[in-house]
Amino acid sequence: MPHAFPLFPVQASSAAPGVDHLFYFLTAVSVFFSALIFLLIFYFAIKYRRRSKDEAPPKNQVTNSIPLEVLWTAIPMVLVAVMFFWGADIFIRDARAPRNATEIFVVGKQWMWHIEHTNGKREINALHIPVNQPIKLTMTSQDVIHDFSVPAFRMKMDVLPDRYTTEWFEATRTGKFHLFCDQYCGMGHSLMRGWVYVMKPEDYERWLRSGVAGLTLADQGEKLYHQLGCITCHGTGKGPAFVGLYGKPVKLSDGQTVIADDAYLRESILYPTAQIVNGYSPIMPTFKGQVSEDQLLQLIAYIKSLGSIEGNTGTP
Amino acid sequence: MVEHIAPKRMYFFVFGSLLVLTLLTWRIAYVDLGPWNTVVALAIAVCKASLVALFFMHLRWSGSMMRIVVCAAIFWLAIMMTLTLGDILTRNLVSPSHGWQSPATVSHTALPASP
Amino acid sequence: MSSPEVELPIESRVHYLNVDYGIKSWLLTTDHKRIGLMYLVSITFFFCFGGVAAILMRLNLLEPQGLLVEPETYNKLFSMHGIIMVFFFMIPSIPAVLGNFLIPMMIGARDVAFPRLNLLSWYVFMTGGMLTLYAVIAGGVDTGWTFYTPLSTAYTNTHVMAAAAGVFIAGFSSILTGMNFVVTIHKMRAPGLSWFRLPLFIWAMYATSIIFILGTPVIAITLALIGLERWFHVGIFDPALGGDPILFQHMFWFYSHPAVYVMILPSMGVVSELISAFSKKKIFGYHFIAFSSIAIAAIGFLVWGHHMFVSGQSLYAGLVFSALSFAVAIPSAVKVFNWTATLYKGSISYEAPMLYALGFIGLFTIGGLTGLYLATLAIDQHVHDTYFVVAHFHYIMVGGAVMGYLGGIHYWWPKISGRLYPDGWARVAAIIIFVGFNLTFFPQFILGYLGMPRRYAVYPPEFHTLNVISTAGASILGLGYIIPLIYLTWSMRYGPEAGPNPWHATGLEWTTASPPPPHNFEETPVVTEEPYSYDRLAEEIQVA
Amino acid sequence: MHNSHAVVAEQFDDRVQQHEASSLGMWIFLATEIMFFGGLFTGYTIYRNLYTSAFETASHLLNAKIGAFNTVVLICSSLTMALAVHAAQTGKRKRLIAFLLSTMGLGAVFLYIKFVLEWHHEYLDGLAPGLHFTYAGPHASRVELFFCFYFIMTGVHAVHMIVGEGVMTVLLVMAWRGAFSPEKYNPIEMMGLYWHFVDVVWIFLFPLLYLLGARF
């Protein structure tokens, strides 16, 4: 066999050791109980085998024991409680990206991964990231459900059409790691693979700057902002302004308040009448079918660039 | 006789109640009670359904097994609705960019003041 | 309770097999035993079909680039394997074959409560099966057995409609069967046969029937919605039209997770019978095993969301479903411990059914414990939709359910056919299946933790070695399944006569002749003792 | 122990056992029906929660008066069905036939109203998803989703009614031939349970589909 023959995946993210420790714990529990059951069965099977064909079965045996039943109900209960809380703890941490994470956008389509960096650099079926730096992926799909999985990071998340899901990780070692689509997505499912390249920060910077033909993601969004005519309302006060909007609570006409996050902005572009900002009338046409998923991400990046933090507002 | 025979009078009485409740639910739909419109309409529907089940379907006189069957079905339906709704209603509560912050990376950014 | 007639040779006695001849006497029968046999033949046919697909898949994975077929064909193979094995083999396996054959006999009844509905259920099942086979022959389905939207509704142009309609129709046969069993168990028990005198197989079948009744209608309506969505291009589950694909997953798994318990619960019932019969000892913790079946059926309905931890489901829902999934592990563990305790101080013999039963306990233990990994949120996040999942559910469904099914077939074969099969061959087959199974599926746990995704037609070369081992195991496993097929068929004609109770087992089904007379019992039995009363048997042997 | 009495099938010991078995069987069947409709109700509930205002808008496009009238028609048919069971229990053959006929008649009226006065009009108004959907107001795609559920739920309900009408035709012929007696009326009773169940489903469909939010 010419190829390497690994039995355990490499640990390449900050989350991996935690998951593996939990895995070792479960394996220890499993091995212990499997061994216990197997040894008991073998022992009983040999010790109490029927010696002759007409051997009479032993009589008046104990066939009920409440203490035993309680014992072997309680012990598994305690063990699974430990597993639950341990697993839940890691899972909750994995679900929430740190605030300073570098954001990268992922669009899945049958059968390729399309990845965009904030400076406008794009790649296909490859993801370049710096080591020791939290990365947050904002992902969506153009067609069916996919799943962005990096086994070396012990991380995966489904990628759904018409919705943003996120996933974050912090790579801890440089190298080249598998990227798989884990959710069956049709004919080319097994070809929807790629590589994650974890680089030293300086290499990453160099890579990021090389070969960028033109505009950053936000700049491309700005271009769209003009091309699509968003400016005619949102730049004139007929529609809500974008400056400092991102991440802020928005009061809606039905009295509810939502946070202006990616999902909200996306919905407002595609279904403008669904959530009307208080004080404005529902006059915006839908852009569904006119902007692609990539363009949506560009528009959102633009709005984001207009500032989410006080004192850091850009100019439209 | 293996089955209870109810007096005919009862059927007409139940029928009358059903008609009254139908009228009621229809009229109430024209009164603005906000979200309570749905609640009231469903409460009336539950009353009507109980009347039909208990009297027309003789559940009142049937063995406990039949009642267990009906309750089980309703209970399982409730499970399906509750757990599914539980997902839908809590899905957007965790907004990754506005929730937990890594202690190691507490940044200069402040959470937007909640209204 | 021995009847004088059982002394006569099989040919000179009227029993359910020779009471009437000709194809019509089978196709129009309302005898639960004949219907059970018709199901046996049908599901064996579907099993071979699904098995061939599995072998082709494993062969294809011999090479990282695919040895035999294009990815497109591979996708159709695993979809067909899944759909046929799940809906047309595993789900009807023990309930429709052994359940139909045994339930009336175990409770001392002449037939099930609704014999004509019982026959109807077989026709409904075959209609669904034929429709699904049509889908396969006409060009196949490539959605996987899970029919996830929007792939199944908007993005594939394979024969989803026919396959979904087939599964939809076959669902009604499950409903009819479940309904029949519940009513039969409630209303047709022999005098003196109170609930806690019922064999544990009956308890397991009762729990299974609950799932049939309350779960199957939901998959039916879900698949109907898939059909309507495809047909009219509306967007109930299609996000492009305002629908929510995760709602489909909820509704699909609301049935399809409990369906896993439809497969394993009857096997647990069979194993409870076998362990007791071949240890010649009353089962340990009867009440706990009985109630754990009901508990598994009930809690099993609350855990479906663990298929969706990384689906975009709410984090909170994930936490709730994870906790509930751990809860369902407890009654399963209780069963395993009780079976093991039953062996203690027994008088254990190792005929083929017992080998299957012990194999079941071992493989189910591994399958159950690896289920804990998948219920653990953080680990599932890594191994979800990888070969780890494939290995886990095959340990439950093949290592568990199929081992139990084969054990049950071997145990009751003398009752079904009236004849004995060669036990030596049967033991050899049981061991070959056990070894082949482990060789096939254990490497897949490692593959899964390494990260190899499931449903991959081609894969990175570093997974090559383990895949070769797995395929080697599959060929052994396939061979193991062929052997019983041969000697069981052979024994139907040439096997020595078994007599009414070849295993010296307790239970009403062993008190009547083999094969049983058309209405099971010459006279309705009266039950006066608890099940598994091997103490009485001991006395009888001593007297003899 | 074979019962020579023809009204007891051979797998049963006596009439009580047979009656209890068939009632239990029927109720279990109705439990499966609850879960079958339950899937639809769950889906409906989810989208209603997600798209409340769109669903209210869509609901107001339906004619609540017709819906209410149809509810009354169905309740009347439930009454006649209950009276038919009563007539069968007391062995009144002519009344049984009369009540079965009126139940079927009322069922037909319901279906006529549903298909001709409602579905047909909604189709013409461009409210039929997938076939002819021209609604262009706000939330069009969500209004379409409401109408998906409207057509599927009322459609599945109507299919149940049509099946009921078919079975009732058979029972009618049997009643005509005098197949039922106070000792043997199980099929009529089971038919009654089924028909009332279909009524109960409509009792929920009516407020859920027609009476969303206040209308004025």
User: What CATH number has the domain bearing residue A224?
Assistant: 1.10.760.10
Other C-beta atoms within 10 Å of C2: how many? 11
Do A70 and A143 fall into the same domain? yes
Given an 8 Å threshold on Cβ–Cβ distance, is B92 in contact with A263? yes
pLDDT tens-digit profile of D119-134? Answer: 999 898 888 888 888 8
pLDDT tens-digit profile of A68-85? Answer: 999 999 999 999 999 999
Q: Give a yes or no: residue D6 inside a domain.
A: no
Given an 8 Å threshold on Cβ–Cβ distance, is A254 in contact with D53? yes
**Domain edge (last residue) among A163, A194, A214:** A214
Give the domain range for residue D194: 35-210
Do A208 and A248 fall into the same domain? no
Given an 8 Å threshold on Cβ–Cβ distance, is B91 in contact with C301? no
* Confidence bin at A301 (pLDDT 50/70/90): confident
**Domain edge (last residue) among A197, A214, A231:** A214
Question: What is the per-residue pLDDT for A250?
Answer: 81
Min Cα–Cα distance to chain A from D50, Å? 11
Set of chain C residues whose Cβ sits within 8 Å of the Cβ of A26: 369, 372-373, 376, 379
Set of chain B residues whose Cβ sits within 8 Å of the Cβ of D184: none
Residues 22-81 (A) with a CB less than 8 A from some CB of C = 22-23, 26, 29-30, 33-34, 37-38, 40-41, 44-45, 48-50, 54-61, 63-65, 68-69, 72-73, 76-77, 80-81
Q: Is A93 on the interface with B (CB under 8 A)?
A: yes
Min Cα–Cα distance to chain B from C289, Å? 22
Min Cα–Cα distance to chain C from A75, Å? 9
- C311, closest residue in chain A (CA to CA): A158
Given an 8 Å threshold on Cβ–Cβ distance, is A168 in contact with B96? yes
Q: Is D137 on the interface with A (CB under 8 A)?
A: no
Question: Could you give the residue ranges of the DSSP H alpha helices within A108-147?
Answer: none
Q: Give a yes or no: residue A4 inside a domain.
A: no
Distances (CA, A) of C113 to C180, C195, C403, D24: 6, 18, 29, 10
Q: Are strands A175-181 and A146-150 parallel, antiparallel or unpaired?
A: antiparallel
Set of chain B residues whose Cβ sits within 8 Å of the Cβ of C247: 84, 88
pLDDT reading at D78 higher than 90: yes
Question: What is the per-residue pLDDT for A305?
Answer: 78
Min Cα–Cα distance to chain A from B36, Å? 17
Question: What is the per-residue pLDDT for B112?
Answer: 35
Set of chain D residues whose Cβ sits within 8 Å of the Cβ of B33: 214
Question: What is the per-residue pLDDT for B56?
Answer: 92
Domain spans of chain C, in order of start: 22-543
CATH architecture of the domain C22-543 equals: Up-down Bundle (1.20)
3-state secondary structure string across chain D: CCCCCCCCCCCCCCHHHHHHHHHHHHHHHHHHHHHHHHHHHHHHHHHHHHCHHHHHHHHCCCCHHHHHHHHHHHHHHHHHHHHHHHHHHCCCHHHHHHHHHHHHHHHHHHHHHHHHHHHHHHHHCCEECCCEECCCCCCHHHHHHHHHHHHHHHHHHHHHHHHHHHHHHHHHHHHHCCCCECCECHHHHHHHHHHHHHHHHHHHHHHHHHCCCCCC
- B interface mutation test: which of D30, D37, D181, D203 has the most B CBs within 10 A? D203
Residues 283-312 (C) with a CB less than 8 A from some CB of A = 283-288, 309-312
Of A58, A63, A187, the CB nearest to C75: A187
Min Cα–Cα distance to chain B from A77, Å? 23
* Rounded average pLDDT over B26-33: 85
CATH, residue D62 = 1.20.120.80
Neighbours of chain A (3+ CB pairs under 8 A): B, C, D
Q: In sequence order, which residues have a C-beta less than 8 Å from that of residue D77 and are 6 or more positions away?
A: D102, D103, D106, D107, D110, D195, D199
Of D35, D39, D207, the CB nearest to B45: D207
Longest dimension (CA), chain A: 99
Given an 8 Å threshold on Cβ–Cβ distance, is D192 in contact with B56? yes
Quick one: tokens of D41?
């109700």
Set of chain C residues whose Cβ sits within 8 Å of the Cβ of B87: 246, 250, 305, 313-314, 316-317
Q: In sequence order, which residues have a C-beta less than 8 Å from that of residue A193 and are 6 or more positions away?
A: A125, A178, A179, A180, A181, C460
Do A254 and A184 fall into the same domain? no
Counting residues of chain A whose pLDDT is more than 90, the rounded percentage is 48
C56 or A122, which is more confident? C56
Question: What is the per-residue pLDDT for A32?
Answer: 96
Question: Could you give the residue ranges of the DSSP H alpha helices within C84-157?
Answer: 91-92, 100-106, 115-137
Question: What is the per-residue pLDDT for B95?
Answer: 47
Do A250 and A187 fall into the same domain? no
Is omega for the bond preceding C266 within 30 degrees of 0, making it cis? no
Q: For chain D, how many structural domains are there in total?
A: 1
As a whole number of angstroms, the distance between CA A253 and CA A250 comes to 10
Is omega for the bond preceding D138 within 30 degrees of 0, making it cis? no
Burial of C533: CB neighbours in 10 Å, binned 0-12, 13-18, 19+: middle
* Structure-token match 């699974």, residue found: A80
Of A40, A76, A143, the CB nearest to C330: A76
Q: Is D53 on the interface with A (CB under 8 A)?
A: yes
Do A25 and A156 fall into the same domain? yes
Question: What is the per-residue pLDDT for B98?
Answer: 39
Quick one: tokens of D26?
């029927």
pLDDT tens-digit profile of A230-263? Answer: 887 887 777 888 877 887 788 887 777 788 888 8
Phi, psi dihedrals of residue A157, rounded to the nearest 5°: -155, 140
Question: What is the per-residue pLDDT for D4?
Answer: 39
Q: Is D10 on the interface with C (CB under 8 A)?
A: yes
Given an 8 Å threshold on Cβ–Cβ distance, is B72 in contact with D31? yes
Q: Give a yes or no: residue A105 inside a domain.
A: yes
Closest to C294 measured CA to CA, from A63, A78, A65, B68: B68
Of A93, A98, A261, the CB nearest to B95: A261
Q: What is the separation of C-alpha B94 from the centre of its chain, rounded to a whole number of angstroms? A: 27
Give the domain range for residue A253: 217-305
Answer yes or no: are the C-beta atoms of C531 and C509 closer than 8 Å: no
Set of chain A residues whose Cβ sits within 8 Å of the Cβ of D141: 271
Min Cα–Cα distance to chain B from C281, Å? 34
Min Cα–Cα distance to chain C from B92, Å? 7
Q: A40 forms bridges with which residues in the sheet?
A: none
Question: What is the per-residue pLDDT for C2?
Answer: 43
DSSP state for residue C305 in the 8-state scheme:
G
Set of chain A residues whose Cβ sits within 8 Å of the Cβ of C245: 145, 160-161
Q: Give a yes or no: residue D216 inside a domain.
A: no
Q: Give a yes or no: residue A272 inside a domain.
A: yes
Given an 8 Å threshold on Cβ–Cβ distance, is D139 in contact with A274? yes
What is chain C's pLDDT, residue by residue, as a tens digit (544 residues)? 444 444 578 878 889 998 888 899 999 999 999 999 999 999 999 999 999 999 999 999 999 999 989 999 999 999 999 999 999 999 999 999 999 999 999 999 999 999 999 999 999 999 999 999 999 989 899 999 999 989 999 898 899 999 999 999 999 999 999 999 999 999 999 999 999 999 999 999 999 999 999 999 999 999 999 999 999 888 889 887 788 999 999 999 999 999 999 999 999 999 999 999 999 999 999 999 999 999 999 999 999 999 999 999 999 999 999 999 999 999 999 999 999 999 998 999 999 999 999 999 999 999 999 999 999 999 999 999 999 999 999 999 999 999 999 999 999 999 999 999 999 999 999 999 999 999 999 999 999 999 999 999 999 999 999 999 999 999 999 999 999 999 999 999 899 999 899 998 989 999 999 899 999 998 889 998 889 988 877 777 666 6
Question: Could you give the residue ranges of the DSSP H alpha helices within C376-463?
Answer: 377-383, 387-394, 403-417, 423-450
Given an 8 Å threshold on Cβ–Cβ distance, is D11 in contact with C110? yes
CB pairs under 8 A between B and D: 146
Of A69, A160, A183, the CB nearest to C239: A160
Mean pLDDT for all residues in chain B: 78
* Confidence bin at A267 (pLDDT 50/70/90): confident
Answer yes or no: are the C-beta atoms of C182 and C213 closer than 8 Å: yes
Do A182 and A243 fall into the same domain? no
Answer yes or no: are the C-beta atoms of C399 and C367 closer than 8 Å: yes
Q: Give a yes or no: residue D25 inside a domain.
A: no
Q: Is C167 on the interface with B (CB under 8 A)?
A: no
Q: In sequence order, which residues have a C-beta less than 8 Å from that of residue C192 and are 6 or more positions away?
A: C526, C527, C528
C193 or A222, which is more confident? C193
CATH, residue A152 = 2.60.40.420
Q: Give a yes or no: residue D17 inside a domain.
A: no
pLDDT reading at D2 higher than 60: no
Q: In sequence order, which residues have a C-beta less than 8 Å from that of residue A309 and are 6 or more positions away?
A: B108, B109
- C543, closest residue in chain A (CA to CA): A56
Question: What is the per-residue pLDDT for C7?
Answer: 59
Set of chain C residues whose Cβ sits within 8 Å of the Cβ of D149: 236
Distances (CA, A) of B45 to B26, C284, D44: 11, 50, 17
Given an 8 Å threshold on Cβ–Cβ distance, is D138 in contact with A282? yes
Given an 8 Å threshold on Cβ–Cβ distance, is A273 in contact with D139? yes
Given an 8 Å threshold on Cβ–Cβ distance, is C251 in contact with D39? yes
B31 or C26, which is more confident? C26
- A6, closest residue in chain C (CA to CA): C462
Q: Can you give the pTM of this predicted structure?
A: 0.90
- B99, closest residue in chain A (CA to CA): A96
As a whole number of angstroms, the distance between CA C398 and CA C212 comes to 20
Closest to C254 measured CA to CA, from A91, A266, B85, A186: B85
Q: Is D45 on the interface with A (CB under 8 A)?
A: no
Question: What is the per-residue pLDDT for A310?
Answer: 42
pLDDT reading at A294 higher than 70: yes
Q: Which helix (H) or strand (E) holds C171?
A: helix C160-187
Q: For chain A, how many structural domains are there in total?
A: 2
Burial of C48: CB neighbours in 10 Å, binned 0-12, 13-18, 19+: middle
Closest to C283 measured CA to CA, from C525, C507, C104, C511: C507
Answer yes or no: are the C-beta atoms of C453 and C497 closer than 8 Å: no
pLDDT tens-digit profile of D16-47? Answer: 888 889 999 999 999 999 999 999 999 999 99
Given an 8 Å threshold on Cβ–Cβ distance, is C215 in contact with D50? no
Residues 140-169 (A) with a CB less than 8 A from some CB of B = 166, 168
- D interface mutation test: which of C226, C232, C314 has the most D CBs within 10 A? C232
Question: What is the per-residue pLDDT for B94?
Answer: 54
